[in-house]
Amino acid sequence: MTAKTALTAQEVADFLQQNPGFFKEHADVFQSLEIEDNNGGGTMSLAQRQVTDLRNKLKKQDFHLKELSLYAMENQNISHSLMQWCVYMLAEDEGAELPQLCVDSLEHCFEGLKVALKLWPCPESVASHFGGVSAELKEQVQQMEQPYCGTSYPEEINSWFETKPASVAILPLDDENTCIGTLVFASADPEHFQEGMGLSFLLIISALAGAALGRTML
């Protein structure tokens, strides 16, 4: 009598792939199959494993949907705050009042953030609050092509706030292609402003603030 040779795992896999109707014809075999539980709880039926995997996938999809909803809501809130700030700026007729209004209205619209503004060459009428920037920092800002977000920033900026920021967003302000200053958002949260984050709203604020504050420089 010829001894039976045990099938290898690959041979079993090949057979099942070549015979897709096997489990349909032998439903009892499918229902009785047991495999190792990934959670270390012994074994579980193949059918139960498929249900568990499907349930886990649905949980992940539900989490991602909730995450997307939160992002959408956050963007909507930022858009509303940005529009409100624009209304404040457009309603002001006096150019000399714009720098302080810019800072106050941004802090009002974006609660939890502190804002600092520096202009150059700064008009005498607002120099006491919005002047006094080192030549080195001016040069750094003038070379910026877009806002910077993160935790590494010039030490000089710390003196513009009552409390040392944990993270900042530094915006260059341009008026007709000439850099006239910088607007800095400060947060106590080191993860609020991060390198690589989206800059769409900051770019809008930078452009609008630069255009509006150009009236102060006249």
Which parts of the chain are beta strand (E)? 34-36, 43-45, 114-119, 148-150, 167-175, 178-187
Which of the two residues, 146 and 16, has the higher pLDDT score?
146
| Average pLDDT of the chain, as a whole number | 86
Q: Is residue 14 classed as helix, strand or coil in its secondary structure? A: helix
> At 63, is the pLDDT very low, low, confident or very high (cuts 50, 70, 90)?
low
pLDDT digit string, tens, across residues 106-127: 999 899 999 999 999 998 889 9
The span from the CA of 41 to the CA of 24, in Å, is 28
Amino acid 1: pLDDT: 47
Contact 116, 161 (CB under 8 A): yes
Q: What is the C-alpha to C-alpha distance for residues 85 and 95, in angstroms, rounded to an integer?
A: 16
Residues 6+ apart with CB under 8 A from 154: 136, 137, 140
CATH class assigned to 94-213: alpha beta
Distance CA 65, CA 93 (A): 45
Two tokens, residue 121:
């060459």
**pLDDT at 51 (0 to 100):** 74
As a whole number of angstroms, the distance between CA 16 and CA 14 comes to 6
pLDDT over 70 percentage in the chain: 87
Give the distance from CA 174 to its chain's centroid.
24
CA 216 to chain CA centroid, Å, is 32
Return the domain boundaries, the chain. 23-91, 94-213
CA distance 142 to 172: 7
Q: How far is CA 67 from CA 60, 78, 90, in A?
A: 11, 17, 35
Residue 114, CB half-sphere, CA atoms under 13 Å: how many? 17
Beta-carbon contacts of residue 46 (< 8 Å; ≥ 6 apart): 30, 33, 34, 35
